[in-house]
Amino acid sequence: MFFAKEEPFALDIEEKTMRELYELCGADRELLFSPYCWRVRLALAHKGLDFHSRPIRFGEKALIEFSGQKLVPVLVDDGQSVHDSLAIFAYLDQRYPERPLLGDGLAAERARLVERLSFHMVRIPLLKILLPRIGQVIDPADREYFRSSREQMLGMRLEDFADPQGGERLFREGVAPLEMWLRDQPFLEGQAPGACDYLLAGMLLWAWCLGAQPWAEDSALGAWFTRIRLAYEREHGPIRRASF
Ligand SMILES: N[C@@H](CCC(=O)N[C@@H](CS)C(=O)NCC(=O)O)C(=O)O
């Protein structure tokens, strides 16, 4: 199991087939590059829960209409559909209480704060770096939708927002407090990883899958990320990475 000392749950075939994760993929269906979907993959690995992957492209969102909204990840577990990465963490804790992700109410609120902070300190800088790469890995049929939806979201042309060098600088500034934090302990949550680790590691996996790594391998953050990635890969095999 993923970092825990105990053995994984014994999952029978029936239980595995009941669980599905709808997640975003590129033209290459094995290239999964959504930070939010990676969070959920890491959370499922933490719980030792297996699932069937349902990779979907931007143009295939009709496949998640049943969830009543338009974003992935969507987890379907035991006939129940849950969307939004943090809501999925909460659902998993409630349904599978062993090896908590969020923990009690106060801890869950703290994770929400980390989510908000990581949105501005990590997601925006990474988006500046990754936008041109995303444009290249998605299905060509999705490019127009990607451009118009993101330009509307950002309020500017993609070319004006994308700035790989500026993004790297902003990223380094954004993660500086985390770098210091991780010099004192192996995980953001202490001696073992929890929701905050996965919320942030999902963001870094987004960059990593798209062939970018704006952190130094030998930094405390780099070592933390590699620990989480290798633990995941030991259980689930190598993560598909785009090369540019
Ligand atoms: N708050 C949501 C955000 C989910 C989200 O933004 N998903 C993106 C993929 S990274 C998506 O589905 N985009 C589809 C689209 O923009 O059409 C979460 O944490 O799960």
Q: Strands, E, within the chain: which ranges?
A: 19-24, 52-56, 74-77, 80-83
Residue 236 lies in a domain: no
CA dist 226 and 110 (Å) reads: 24
Residues ≥6 apart with Cβ < 8 Å to 211 = 133, 241, 242, 243, 244
- Helix, strand, coil shares of the chain, percent, nearest 5, are 60, 10, 30
Radius of gyration of the chain (CA): 17
pLDDT band with cut points at 50, 70 and 90 for residue 164: very high
Q: What is the pLDDT of residue 104?
A: 84
If one counts the domains in the chain, the total is: 1
The number of angstroms, rounded, from the C-alpha of 129 to the middle of its chain's C-alpha atoms is 17
CA dist 225 and 220 (Å) reads: 9
CA–centroid distance, 180 to ligand 1, in Å, is 30
Give the CATH number of the domain where residue 178 resides.
1.20.1050.10
CA dist 166 and 142 (Å) reads: 27
**How many alpha carbons lie under 13 Å from residue 227 in its C-beta half-sphere?**
18
What does the pLDDT look like over 82-127, one tens digit per residue?
999 999 999 999 999 999 999 888 888 999 999 999 988 999 999 9
Residue 170 lies in a domain: yes
Residue 84 lies in a domain: no
Domain that holds residue 141: 105-226
Q: Which residues line ligand 1 (CB under 6 A)?
A: 24, 34-36, 58, 70-73, 84-86, 149
pLDDT over threshold 90, residue 150: yes
CA–centroid distance, 6 to ligand 1, in Å, is 33
What does the pLDDT look like over 122-145, one tens digit per residue?
999 999 999 999 999 999 999 999
Rounded percentage of the chain residues whose pLDDT exceeds 90: 89
Pair of tokens at residue 89: 């963490």
CA dist 146 and 113 (Å) reads: 28
Residue 235 lies in a domain: no
CB contact at 8 A, 201 and 38: yes
Number of Cβ within 10 Å of residue 113's Cβ equals 10
CA–centroid distance, 68 to ligand 1, in Å, is 14
Residue 45 lies in a domain: no
Residue 162 lies in a domain: yes
Residue 239 per-residue DSSP state: P
